[in-house]
Every structure is written in structure tokens, then in C-alpha cells.
A and B are shown apart, each in its own frame.
Chain A
Amino acid sequence: MKAPLSWLKDYVDIDVTAEELQKKLFGCGFEVEELIQVGKDISGVVVGEVTECLPVEGTHLHVCKVDCGKHGVLQICCGADNVKTGIKAPVALIGATVYATAKDHVTVEGVMTIKKGKLRGIESYGMLCSGVELGVSGDMFEGADYNGLLLLPSTTKNGEDVKPILGLDDYIFDISITANRPDCQSILGIAREVAAVLGKPIKLPDCTYASVHSDDGVKVTDLAPDLCPRYIAHYVKDISIAPSPMWMKRRLALCGLRSINNVVDITNFVLLEMGQPMHAFDLDTLSGREIVIRRAKDGEQITTLDDKTFDLTHENLVICDGDKPAALAGIMGGLNSEIEAHTKELLFEAAKFARDSVRKTARALGQHSDSSAAFEKGVNEYTTSLAMDRALHLIEELGCGTVTDVHCDVKTEYSHDGAKKMSVSISKINELLGITVPTQTMCDILKRLDFGVDANGDTLTLDVPAYREDIDGYPDIAEEIIRMYGYEHIHGTFMPTAAVTNGGFNDEQKAENDLKRALVEQAMYEISTYSFYSEKDLDMLKIPADAPERRFIKIKNPIGEDLSVMRTTLAPSMLHTIVRNLRRGNMEGRLFEIAKVYLPRQLPLADFPDEKKRLCIGLFGTCDFYDLKGVTEAIADRLRTTFEYVPSSRSFLHPGVCADIVCGGKVIGYAGRLDPAISNKLALERKVFVAELDYDALMSCAHPFKYKPLPKFAEVTRDLALVADMDVTCGQIEKAISGACKYVTDVKLFDIYVGAQVGANKKSMAFTVTFTPGDEPITPEKCDSYIKKILSNLSHNLNVTLR
């Protein structure tokens, strides 16, 4: 919201600097995002009167004597075509800063500092300036658009600073307004806050007008009261379309609006001043001198003022005349009823349209305006009515028409005027704040905020201003009080009345922290990636069409296709991260992520999906499968469990380097090497290994810590060198050894050999087997018998023999 200081001063006697006001507004909840200093680039420019003006022969230049009052009479060379004796114009003195323009004298190319110059051998001690050079447009100052000198009134004093004369000493507050204060989306709204914070009275704009009787009635019918709770129309005749006066043009210009003509400017001015969108229809174009507010018919069309045509549906509210839409309600008028130079009669509209309806239509049609923005934020009917009066006053003040007494004010069952009475408890307010604000202070603050206040014992009876629809209960009043009283009065206390509670992570959260620590201790870096990816990422991993990963949840309004699908596996995100690292020249890395996947119970989604955590591990660089397995083994250790690795396959993994991770007979995940075909496609110069584990399944494998007493007798170890067929796995042999004797507590491979000495298609594997005794020691004889059993088991089941 942009509020010029000069405009605010119309309503409040502001006796502090712009910077001080900025601070005060900040303190009471209105952050000035930018304090714009109008004319901040302009300095050292004064009023000068040309007292002598001689042409320089053979050029378009004139050499002038310019009386600059206390700055003396200066010789200045000037090329403007309107320089002559007797005029007054801005003089940029030596050292002044003004805008530099291109050869066209129009395009601003930066800021320049005026130096003593010499043109055609004639010394020049300053510069006579145009409007552009001072950043002043014709809307800011009469005649400033002229491509030549900006002429100043003869009433100005020679040597006087031109900035106040040209309105270049102004400030514009660009204020961020919170969503609960739509009433402050206006100059008047801000002025009310300024008045309150400065403790000054507010001078309301003049909303009075005289009307003449007219027999030409106007009919208004509201067929959609839920979308249009209130509609006010007023008939103005004898319109003469003309330019607006300078003061109005300047106001609009300061807020970034271009002046169009008096009628259009009035609607824009009232929107800025009061926050109430206004619309003016050319009444002659309205068939039947009638307004009908209704939902559009499906397929109905409207062409708006900007010459865009829209197909409408019953979701869109339109303002119609006797037979056709004449405006897109709250958004923009129709081209067919536009005010034009020859317009003689008009119908002013001030209405309240439902926020949601305007928002939906504006979004659906992609058609937004200052008006729709205001309706979306919300207008109050007190202001709707006031704004109509203000607009009619301005019609009168600007002399652009005759205000008639034809006034239609349609109130519906959805209409409410806003003013309300409420009672609040002073002690409740103080209890919420935690401090005691003196009752008198409370009353003063509320009065400054335009509340009617009556204090009686602990009760404040309040008349809430009609424009304050946000005020609802005593906490709102508490907020009004504290924001004006000052938050610096709030001192820290430490919940003296609260019950003692026990805080911290719960057991599951602690377990996750422990798991992360175990991974970090394995030299892993934790990553965090987006929860959404593209369906193409699944294609990249060659995930089959019927795989569960393809049953995903889609975002209706994604930022882009890349981020449109809620992920069902973490592997693509891990792979992207690895690819990014390799492309940046990070050739080694060990990464992990614990995050959710989103699994619908049915599609299309009708209920909350399952959000399941996964652990994904990614290794890249000079590593192999056993580095990856080392990480999962460390996890198993941490959880006091063991995993089995069963050769398996995944669409995106190397068929020979892929395993299911099994725990307690259940597949809880996979580990393997990225398929070289995919690596090649992505031009990855390093091997990539990925594992992904179902987090809940993983954590349910954990065994609780339980102390075991040390064995009474020493453990016995035996080494076994075995010969096995090539396709027998280490895991099978380990299992066969452990399974053959209950005293075996550990089986560890320490050597593996393939070659001539063991024969073709055979391999030799050497294991250390540890026996832990029970109640009796394990004698060498006993151990021999266990070994015998183990060997027989091996030979029987796996055709494995002693070497």
C-alpha cells in the first residue's frame, strides 16, 4: 500500500519527520517496507528568472542572464526553444544533481552533477531544467511534460528551492498491510492509524453534496445476494468529461496511476483514498436504465475495458443491464458501457462483492485489477456507502456533472453495516497480556482508535468502528491496546502458573537420532531433498508400469512437471544428488537420507495416504558393493540384529550386483550397484551404489539391549578350509555352519581362492568358526565332533567339502 506523506497530511496534522513516522507505524503493526523519497536524486535546483536572453549566432542556443536571488545572477547557456526574457524556470546550480537525458531530452539515462561548462566558447554557470530532468511529469506539475524548460509561476521567489514547489519534497510510505486490516488498504485507513499513533484528531474528507431532483429513475435488482451483499448506485447527469485538476492528477501520479479524465480519475481516487472500488457506467448504454446483478449464464460472454473477451460460467458474477453483461463484477467494466468523451449521463456503482467470488473469477479468467485486489482483501459496507458520497462530492467539486437524487441502495440479508457494541473485561485483557495496563490508558488508546468507550468497573463497553470488521473478541481489544501502548512493556516471565511437564524426544524419535548417529559414524553425510519429483524420474530408473512405485499421488497445481509427483521411493532423489555432485567435480561421497514416501491407499486419493519413512543410502566414487554393505552391516550392528543378503534384482540395478536385504525372514530393502546402462546414459564417470530400506520394518528388527553374562569357559575357534562349487554363496555356507551346531556363535570368512589348485568351477573358502561353550567347557574331542557334524551338513546340503 503506497501512501504519500502529502496526502496523509490532508487528514492528520503530522508534526514528525517521515523517518519518525515510519518508526511509529512499525511499532503499531504497519511495517513500512520502503520509505520512498520523491525527488531524492534532485538537489541544488532553485527558481531562476531569465532577465536577459541573447541568441548565439549559428546555433539554437541562447546565452541568458538568470536572476537566482541569493545565488546571484548567473550566465547560463540554454538550448530550449521556450527560453525567453521574463520567464521563471528551475536552475540547477553548479554542484546540483539532476537526471541526465538522452539526445531526445526525454529518456532518463542516470543522474548527473552540474559543473561549470563552456558551450561554443561561452561559459555557463548552471543549467535551466526541463520537467524530465527533475523527474517531474505533467501529472505532477502543470506543463512539466513539455520538451523544453519547465515554466514556474511568476509568484515563485527567485533563488527559492524548487523541490517544495514541484512536490519533490514528498515521501511515499510503501506499507505492508496484514490480512486482518483491509480497512488500511487506503490512504484514509493509514491516516486513521497515523492519527491514533500521534494522538491527533482525524479530519475526514468532505463527503457532502447537493442533489437535484430527477424523474428518470434507475432500477437495481440483486439476484445473487450471497455474492453481492450490498449494491449502491447513483445517477449523475450533465456530465462533461474533462481533464482532472492538477491536485488530483498529482495524487494519482504519486500512487503510480496515470490520469485519464475527471470521471475515471474520481473512481481511481476514491479507491486509493477509501479502499472502495468504484465503477462508472455510461448510463445511455445501459438498456432499460437497469442494473441486474446475477451469476453469468454458462457460455455468456463479456468484453472488458481492456478489449479482452471472456467466456463465462455460472461461477462468475456479472453486472448486467436490461439484457446483457455490462461489467465483470468487482473486476472490470465492460467495453460496451465505457465512459467516453461524449458520455452525458453516468451511473456510479459502489458495492460489496464476496471476497471468494471475486477471487475465484479473477483467478479463473486470469483477469486481475486494483479493484479485484481490493475486493479479495475485503471491503466493509460502511466505507462502500461513504465512498459513494465522496465520489459524488468530487463530481460536484470538480464540476463534472450534476448529482441527481436518484440513489439506489440495495441491502440484502447478507448485508451488515459493521458497527457493533461489545463488552470486554479489563482484567481478562490484562491477564492475557500478563501486565496491568492502567484503565485510563486503555480508554485513551481505544478512543484514539475511534472506539466509543465507556468504562464501568471491570467492564469496558465499546462501540466498535464500523470499518473494523476484524474486531471480534477481547483478545482483539488486547492487541489494539498493546500495539499502541507498546510491546516494550511486555517483560519476560516464565510460565509461573503452568504445570510442570516432561519434555524431549519420545523413544521412536530417539531411535531415529541414534540411527542417524550410527550413519554419521560411518562417514556418511546426511542430505535433504524435495518430497516431490517427476514421473520421468521413474522412467529413468526403468520402473515397470505395474510397479507399486507407479502408484503415486499427483499435485494438482505443481510449480512444474519436475516437482509434480509425491515420491514413492527415495532412490531418484538420491541419484539426482549424486549426479549433481559428479557434475560439480565432487568425485567421492557417502550420502544418506531419512524421509517419507507417500503411498496412497486408493487412487484417486480419497483419504489420508500412508506416509512411510525410508532410509536411502548412496555411495559414489571408488567404492564397491562391500562398502555399501559395510554401511548396512553397521546399521544391523547398531540395531543388535543381523541381515541376510539374497541375490535379487531391481529394474535400475546391476543384475549381478543386487541383493534383497532380509531380516527376520522379511525383505526390508535392497542394496546394489546402479545399472551401468543408466550410468552410461547419465554419463557418470564413477560407480554408484544405492540401498533403500523401509524405515519401520528396519526399526522393528532392532533387538533391545540386554546384558549377557560372560561365558564361564573360554571360547574355542577352529579354522576350516572348504571347497565349494562356484555358485555356492558365502551366506549359504555361513548359514549351514551355524545351523549345524548350536554352540557356533560366529562364522567369519578370512580367505577366498579360485584357481588351478581347487579345480574348475570350484572355489576355496576359509572360515574361522567360533564356538561358545554353554554349561560345560568344549573339549578338543567335543569340538572335533561338532566339526564333523558341520562338515557332514555342508557336504550333504551344499556339496561343500574339506579342502
Chain B
Amino acid sequence: MIEEKIEELKKRIDEVTKDIKSSKSLAELKMAFFGKQGEISELMKGMRDVPKEKRPEVGKIINALRDWANEKFDALAESVKKIELEELYKTEKIDVTLPGRKLPYGAYHPNTLVIRELVDIFSGMGFEVFEGPEIENDYYNFTALNTPKDHPARDMQDTFYITEDLLLRTQTSAGQIRVMENKKPPIKILSPGKVYRSDDDATHSPMFGQMEGLVVDRGITLCDLKGMLDEFARKIFGSSVKTRLRPSYFPFTEPSVEVDVSCFECGGKGCRLCKGTGWIEVLGAGMVNRRVLEGCGIDPDEYTGFAFGMGIERIAMLKYGINNMKMLFEGDVRFLKQFKD
């Protein structure tokens, strides 16, 4: 009799689980059989009414049913999960071409990138970074740089004055003197910063960035300047770029040179960038003038040195192909966002 009941139950379980598709309804069904009031639980409870001697036998049968049902439900759970997953894959399929959500990365000012790259190049050669004040006095900006009051070179730079003596520095070279007054050779410094000249047109800005370099040590030669500039030019403009020195004049260096690099756009054949000459002027340099060393208490018979100075904007414009200097100071976001690190 119990066997019949169990057969019937098995049949019913087979029947009701036939079309089951979701884990949830499977769990509900299982509850209906295994829950507190469930039929299988009821069967188990019914054991109390079974005569003692029959209990082992009946118990065995019921246990078998329970094991069978458990297995059945477990197996079903497996297959339902599979079905559900298949369904999930379908419903959760996305359009991978929709726009992504990102935390955008900002951008550095081109001048910052250039200064960082220059410092990177020169720090490998042992240059420290020194930053001097932007409001300087006549002594540091001119006199100590061998440019006394009536010197014609003062006309080369239109100076913004604040008082008779205080002015906006026209060159980062002013920092040279501050370093040499406080530090004795060996000196290898780089001095990046803002400088000011009373000039405002298409190619001049009243404020611009400069980077000054200074080396003072025993036995420093013009060839050393050339060697260091070659290295600089290769690293910043490309490994095939060469440098050329040609005579020039700065009051604080003697001999003084202009430094050109071979055009990295056309390889020196002549193009628009180099105005057909094959060369691009990038900086001024020279051997530190003896008077400048003397003025800083450095014996020019014991030490020699070289200095060089370049315009940051000029390097940035050449490097990135920026054709209008003003863009660097306008802060137009369409311009700025291009300069990812």
C-alpha cells in the first residue's frame, strides 16, 4: 500500500517537474514536497503510525524515495540553472559599441611638458634645478651679467621696470649670478622660469618661459658645450638631429654662439619649417664671460664654464608644431586637452 502511494508520488513528481524552467518555481515545488507540510515530510511523519516491526522496512522505502527525489531535484536544479544562464546570456547581450564611461585624464600645459623633458635630459648629465625670483634688481639682471648701465645690449631687451632698480627679469640668466654667489664649482644648474619683455606682437609675448643652463668647473671648453648640446638636440628632436654653432653676441658669454639644429622636419633639405635653410635656431649659448665669474668671486683662471638659454615656448612650438605662440597663454580647452602626458 505504501509502495503504491510512493509510486503515485514519484509519478506526480515526474509530472510536475516536467516543464519546470526556473529555479524559483523549482524551489517552490521542492518546498511542496520537502517543506514542513510537504508530502514527503508528511510520509516521514506518518512513520509514527507504522507498527514498530514494520518501521525498518517502511523507513527504507521512504528513505529511498527521499533520496530519489533529492537527486531528481538536484539534477533538475542543474539543468534549470543552465537554461536560465542561456536565457541570461540572451537578455543581457549589449551593444558593445555604445560609448564607454571613463574618468577622463587631464592635460599638462605644453610648457610643463617641455620643462619636464628638458630637466629629464639634463638631470641625467648632473644638472640641478634652481628657480630664482621673477622680480629682480638691476644688478642681477644686467650689471652682474656684464651689462652695465650704458651698455648697448640693454637695448636688445625691452625691460619692464617697477622702480629705478627693480624690474621684471628679462632673462633667467639672472639666476646664474644668485647660484654662483652661493655655490662654488662644480656647478651644473638648470634654471627654468618666466621672463618678461616689453614686446607684444604676433611672434612676441610680454611673458614667456626660458630655461637657462650653467656649468662651471675646471677645464670646461667650447667643445663640452657642443657635446652637451648635441646630446640635448638628439634627445628632444630626434636621434638624427645635428647641431651647428655660429658666432653671436651676449654680454655674459665670450665667445657667444647661436645654436641651430638641423631641421627635423625635412632632415636638412630645406622646408617651410626651416624656411628653406635646413637649420632651425633654437638657443643662444657661450663660454661664461670672465668678468661674470670674477663678479661672483670665482677665479676665472681656475675655472671656466658655459651657459645656454632657450625659450620654452619656442621649443614647445617646434616640438608640437604649434604655429601661434599666443595659443600657449589663452587656455582654450580644445588646445589644452591635446597635451596628454
Q: Which residues of A contact B (CB under 8 A)?
A: 26-29, 31, 178-182, 354-356, 359, 376-378, 431-435, 472-473, 475-476, 478-479, 482-483, 487-488, 490-506, 509, 513, 516-517, 519-532, 553-559, 563, 566, 577, 580-581, 584, 586, 588-591, 596, 598, 604-606, 608-609, 611
B19 contacts partner chain A, Cβ-Cβ < 8 Å: no
Are B122 and A494 in contact (CB-based, < 8 A)?
A: no
Q: Which residues of A contact B336 (CB under 8 A)?
A: 525-527, 591
**Given A434-B222, A497-B220; 4 other pairs, CB 8 A cutoff:** A487-B257, A506-B128, A528-B328, A581-B332
B72 at the interface (CB under 8 A from A): no
Task: Please tell me which one of the listed residues A31, A488, A503, A581 contacts residue B127 in the complex, with CB atoms under 8 A apart.
Answer: A503
| Chain A proximity mask over B151-164: 1 for CB below 8 Å, otherwise 0 | 11101100011110
Q: Of B109, B152, B227, B245, which is within 8 A of A378 by CB?
A: B152
CB neighbours (8 Å) of A558 from chain B are 160, 198
Closest to A554 in B: B162
Number of interface residues of B (CB under 8 A): 87
Instruction: Provide the bound-state CA to CA distance between A483 and B248, in Å.
Output: 9
Q: Give the distance to chain A from B59, nearest Cβ to Cβ, in Å.
A: 44
Chain A residues with Cβ below 8 Å from B152 are: 179, 182, 355, 376-378
A180 vs B220: C-alpha distance when bound (angstroms): 24
CB under 8 Å from chain A, chain B span 139-175? 149-153, 155-156, 160-163, 166, 168
Given known A492-B227, A503-B123, A526-B112, contact A180–B135 (CB-CB < 8 A): no
List A contacts of B289 (CB < 8 A).
475
Bound complex: CA of A488 vs CA of B129, how far in Å?
Answer: 31
Chain B residues closer than 8 Å to A506, beta-carbon distance: 128-129
From the candidates B126, B153, B222, name the one contacting A502 in the complex (CB within 8 A): B126
B329 close to A (CB within 8 Å) = yes
Say whether A475 contacts B255, CB under 8 Å.
Answer: yes
Q: Given the known inter-chain contacts A179-B152, A557-B161, please indicate yes or no for A26 contacting B246, CB distance below 8 A.
A: yes
Q: Which of A431, A556, A577, A611 contacts B162 (CB 8 A)?
A: A556
- CB-CB under 8 A for A528 and B111, given A559-B200, A611-B134: yes
Chain A residue contacts of B264, Cβ below 8 A: none
Q: Nearest Cβ distance between residue A312 and chain B, in whole angstroms?
A: 20
B32 within 8 A of A: no
Give every chain B residue within 8 A of A492 (Cβ-Cβ).
223, 226-231
CB distance from B284 to the nearest CB of A (A): 11
Q: Which listed residue, A435, A475, A586, touches B334 by the CB 8 Å rule?
A: A586
Q: How far is the CB of A102 from chain B (nearest CB, A)?
A: 32
Which residues of B are interface residues toward A (Cβ below 8 A)? 103-109, 111-112, 116, 119, 122-129, 131, 133-135, 137, 149-153, 155-156, 160-163, 166, 168, 185-186, 188, 190, 194, 196, 198, 200, 206-207, 215, 217-224, 226-231, 244-249, 251, 254-257, 287, 289-290, 304, 328-334, 336-337, 341
Contact of B129 among A504, A530, A596, A608 (CB under 8 A): A504
Closest A residue to B104 by beta carbon equals: A523
Chain A residue at smallest Cβ distance from B146:
A472
Closest CB pairs A-B (n = 8): A434-B221, A434-B223, A29-B247, A492-B227, A497-B219, A479-B255, A178-B249, A356-B150
Q: Tell me, in angstroms, the Cα distance from A494 to B223 when the chains sit together.
A: 8
Find chain B residues with CB under 8 A from A377 CB.
152
Chain A residues near B227 (CB, 8 Å)? 491-495
> Can you list 24 residue pairs at the A/B interface with Cβ under 8 Å?
A179-B155, A179-B156, A180-B153, A356-B149, A432-B221, A432-B255, A433-B222, A434-B223, A435-B222, A488-B244, A495-B227, A498-B188, A503-B123, A523-B104, A525-B106, A525-B337, A526-B109, A530-B207, A555-B160, A555-B162, A558-B160, A559-B206, A598-B135, A608-B166
**Closest residue of chain A to B340, judged by CB?**
A520
Among A27, A483, A505, A530, contact of B255 (Cβ-Cβ < 8 Å): A483
A372 CB to nearest chain B CB (Å): 12
Interface pair A493/B221, CB less than 8 Å apart: yes
The CA of A526 and the CA of B113, in the complex, are separated in Å by 11
**Chain B residues closer than 8 Å to A476, beta-carbon distance:** 254
Known A-B contacts A581-B331, A605-B162; A490 and B223 likewise in contact (beta carbons under 8 Å): yes
Select one of B135, B151, B218, B254 contacting A497, CB under 8 A. Answer: B218
CB distance from A383 to the nearest CB of B (A): 16
Chain A residues lying within 8 Å of B215, measured Cβ to Cβ, are 495, 498
Please name all residues of chain B whose beta carbon is closer than 8 Å to the beta carbon of A182 when the two chains form the complex. 152
Q: What distance in Å separates the Cβ of B170 from its nearest Cβ neighbour in chain A?
A: 13
**A524 contacts which chain B residues (CB < 8 A)?**
106
**A178-B248, A526-B108, A590-B106 as given contacts; A491 in contact with B226, CB under 8 Å:** yes
- Nearest residue, chain A, Cβ from B107: A525
Which interface residue of A501, A522, A555, A611 has the most chain B CB atoms within 10 A? A501
The CA of A493 and the CA of B218, in the complex, are separated in Å by 14
C-alpha gap A272/B329 in the complex (Å): 43
Please, how many angstroms separate the alpha-carbon atoms of A476 and B290 in the complex? 10
* B259 to A, closest residue via Cβ: A487
Given contacts A182-B152, A524-B106, contact A531 B186 (CB under 8 A): no
| Cα(A27)–Cα(B106), bound, Å | 46
Q: Which of A433, A519, A525, A559 has the most CB of B within 10 A?
A: A525
In the assembly, what is the distance between CA of A432 and CA of B219, in Å? 8
Contact A355 B150 (CB under 8 A): yes
CA distance A471 to B254 in the complex (A): 10
B217, B221, B333: the one contacting A589 at CB < 8 Å is B333
Instruction: Report yes or no: B221 in contact with A591, Cβ–Cβ below 8 A.
Output: no
Residues of B within 8 A of A178 (CB): 248-249
B228 engages A495 (CB within 8 Å): yes
CB closest chain-A residue, reference B163: A605
Indicate which residue in A376, A479, A491, A516 contacts B254 across the interface (CB closer than 8 Å): A479
Give the contacting residue for B135; candidates A435, A553, A554, A556; CB below 8 A.
A553
Q: Which of A181, A509, A523, A566 contacts B106 (CB 8 A)?
A: A523
Does A432 contact B222, Cβ atoms closer than 8 Å?
A: yes
Q: Across the interface, do B224 and A493 meet the contact criterion of CB distance under 8 Å?
A: yes
Contacts of A525 in B (CB 8 A): 106-107, 331, 333, 336-337
A425 CA / B35 CA spacing, docked (Å): 112
A26 to B160, CA, bound (A): 32
Contact A431 B329 (CB under 8 A): no
Q: Which residue of B lies closest to A481 (CB)?
A: B255
Residues of B within 8 A of A605 (CB): 162-163, 166
What's the Cα separation between A519 and B108 when bound, in Å? Answer: 9
Residue among A493, A566, A584 having the largest count of chain B Cβ atoms under 10 Å: A493
A479→B231 CA distance, assembly (Å): 23
B225 CB, nearest partner CB in chain A, Å: 8
CA distance A496 to B228 in the complex (A): 12
Closest to B130 in A: A506
Q: Is A555 touching B222 in the complex (CB atoms < 8 A)?
A: no
Query: Which residues from A are CB-within-8-Å of B108?
Result: 516, 520, 526
A504 cross-chain contacts in B, Cβ below 8 A: 119, 123, 127-129
Min CB distance B309 to A, Å, is 16
A531 touching B134, Cβ below 8 Å: yes
Note all chain B residues with C-beta closer than 8 A to A591. Answer: 331, 333, 336
Contact of B333 among A501, A519, A581 (CB under 8 A): A581
A479 touches B111 (CB 8 A): no
Question: How far is the CB of B246 from the nearest CB of chain A, in Å?
Answer: 6
A519 to B329 Cα, complex, angstroms: 19
CB distance from B335 to the nearest CB of A (A): 9
B331 contacts A529, C-beta separation under 8 Å: yes
Nearest CB on A from B156, distance (A): 6
Q: Which residue of A lies closest to B301 (CB)?
A: A428
Instruction: Looking at the assembled complex, report how far the CB atom of A287 sits from the nearest CB atom of chain B, in whole angstroms.
Output: 33
Q: Which residues of A contact B135 (CB under 8 A)?
A: 553, 566, 598, 608-609, 611
Interchain CB contact under 8 A, B196 and A520:
no
Check if B249 sits within 8 Å of A487, measured CB to CB.
no
Instruction: Give which listed residue, A354, A359, A433, A532, contacts B223 with CB less than 8 A.
Output: A433
CB distance from A67 to the nearest CB of B (A): 43
Cβ of A611 and Cβ of B330 under 8 Å apart?
A: no
A494 to B219, CA, bound (A): 11
A553 near B162 with CB under 8 A, answer yes
Q: In the bound complex, do residue B220 and residue A498 qualify as a contact, i.e. CB atoms below 8 Å apart?
A: yes
